[in-house]
Structure 1
Amino acid sequence: MMTNPPTVSFRHEDKHQIHPREDLVLAKRLRLLFPHDPYAGADGSYRVTSLYFDTPYDKALREKRDGVDRREKFRLRYYGTDTGFLRLEKKCKVHGLCSKRSARVTPEQVQSLLAGDYAFLLRSDHALLRELYSKLQGQCLRPKTVVCYDREAFFYPPGNVRITLDRNVRSGLGSLDFLNPQARYVPVMEGLTVLEVKYDAFLPELIRMAVQVPNRRAAACSKYALCRRYD
């Protein structure tokens, strides 16, 4: 039985680029105030590896750079070195708000995608996989760039707030190495950390005060766009 797309909820997502000293002070403060992501390692962080899709004319990249109000992108993702747990994700942005849908995929299915075999998507009972098939066929969407970074994440239930510090952002040298945790990567943001604050309808005052960094600059900071500079 085929599933219908679930109701999509949108969230706020604020991004800032901060320097190592600011990162050091902020991380120490956040560790005193909020618990780490329960899936993090002993040091509170974990690695995120994503493979982004785009069209031959770089639709996702161009719309990001041009600030298009409604846009979307597809990616595959796994955490740490465990390539047995993989997800297909579709991220949308509308009027400055973000939403994300996801579906589990197997390593064998990802290998098929990397080999250009998409037939299994059409046979899937998950709407997101079938949607990816339509975009692969209709827009010639293809695997484009691997993005890898180390994330320290905190959460605060009121407002459904998640604060992340993404460090050591780096780009993969080819999509075929996506499932290889030992693949080589090229640093793209040396000396900078991406601070992200995600929340639902409101941002609690405690969070607003906790993430204050003097002279920080808000930035439309797309890790995917940063990594595409090295194509």
Structure 2
Amino acid sequence: MIKKTQSIFRHELKHVITPAEDRLLSERLGRLFPRDSHAGKRGVYNVNSLYFDTPNDKALVEKIAGVSSREKFRLRYYGEDLTFLRLEKKIKKGGLCSKRSANLTYEQAASLLAGEIAFLLESEDPLLIELYSKMKGELLRPKTIVRYEREAFTYMPGNVRITLDRKLHTGLYNLDFLNTKRRYIAAAPGHTVLEVKYDAFLPDIVKMSVQMPDRKTGAYSKYAVCRKYD
């Protein structure tokens, strides 16, 4: 019998900030915390995601309605590196989030985009089998491409990860997701999303470092923003 892996839930805070605040935070965080080790020389990298949804847009509707318990599936790679492709399921419960993932080969990802999904059931991976079940039962399908530039910082106490996500773009031709030279449409010019994720506690140094005047924690979905361009 295949056992499902237990999900670990973390706190997630989001703020939409201006370009000026982005520059200030980037400089401040760079002095205080180490950058993500996977970032390039500029300290940033591109995130490419293809989100799945049902014909009646269950994930989108639940997000807009503010349903406290919801989930989203996405296929993701970074920069132009197609040797590291990953299927992810993001789970939200109130202010907590969790993520499960499974690696895919380029050939598997291409088959998935082509609608050839038998390999999911044959994989013996619980997450891939769950995706197969929902593609068959709920008609879950690739919906929208989301691409953005990320600058990330880490802090070991509290297992903190701070990200600045900017230059949000979307793509409409989902079968072309694995084409690293494809063109994108700017989805939210001038917006940067500050995200802070942590386990049981948020250290004071992190609280102080990300504090901006008159900024309150809010809900922001890159997927929902990009769906406006369907």
- Which amino acid in structure 2 is aligned with residue 111 of structure 1? A
Percent identity over paired residues: 63
The 5-angstrom pairing of residues 63-74 of structure 1 reads: 63-74=62-73
**Other structure's SS at 1:179 match:** coil
Question: 2:220 matched to which residue of 1?
Answer: 221
Equivalent residue for 1:4? 3
Paired with 2:30 and 2:220, the residues of 1 have a C-alpha distance of 24
Superposed counterparts of 1:47-126, under 5 Å: 47-126=46-125
Q: Which residue of 2 aligns with 1:194?
A: 193
Q: Structure 1 length as normaliser, TM-score? A: 0.98
- Is 1:181 the equivalent of 2:164? no
The one-letter code sitting in structure 2 at the alignment partner of 1:37 is D
Q: Deviations over 1:157-215 (max 9, x none)?
A: 00000000001000012111110111111111101100000000111100000001112
Paired positions, count: 230
Contact 1:146–1:175 (Cα < 8 Å) also in 2: yes
CA RMSD of aligned residues (A): 0.9
Q: Any conservation in 2 of the 1:87–1:104 contact (CA below 8 Å)?
A: yes
Q: Which residue of 1 aligns with 2:141?
A: 142
* Alpha-carbon offset, residue 95 of structure 1: 2.4
Q: Any idea what SS the aligned residue of 2:205 has?
A: helix
Letter in structure 2 aligned against 1:98: C
Partner SS, residue 46 of structure 1: strand
In structure 1, what is the Cα distance between the partners aligned to 2:160 and 2:47? 19
Determine the C-alpha separation between the residues in 2 that align with 1:173 and 1:95.
30
Q: Which runs of 5+ in 2 are unaligned?
A: none
* 1:83 to partner: Cα distance: 1.1
Distance 1:3 1:197 in 2: 33
Structure 1 unaligned blocks of 5 or more? none
The whole-number CA distance in structure 2 between the counterparts of 1:155 and 1:112 is: 35
Query: Are the equivalent residues in 2 in contact too, given 1:173–1:184 (CA < 8 A)?
Result: no
Looking at structure 1, the residues matched to 11 and 78 of structure 2 have their Cα atoms a distance apart, in angstroms, of: 23
CA distance in 2 between counterparts of 1:192 and 1:124 reads 39
Alignment partners' CA distance in 2, 1:96 and 1:21: 27
- Look up the equivalent residue of 2:212 and give its one-letter code: V
Which secondary structure does the structure 2 equivalent of 1:121 belong to?
helix
Partner of 1:210: 209
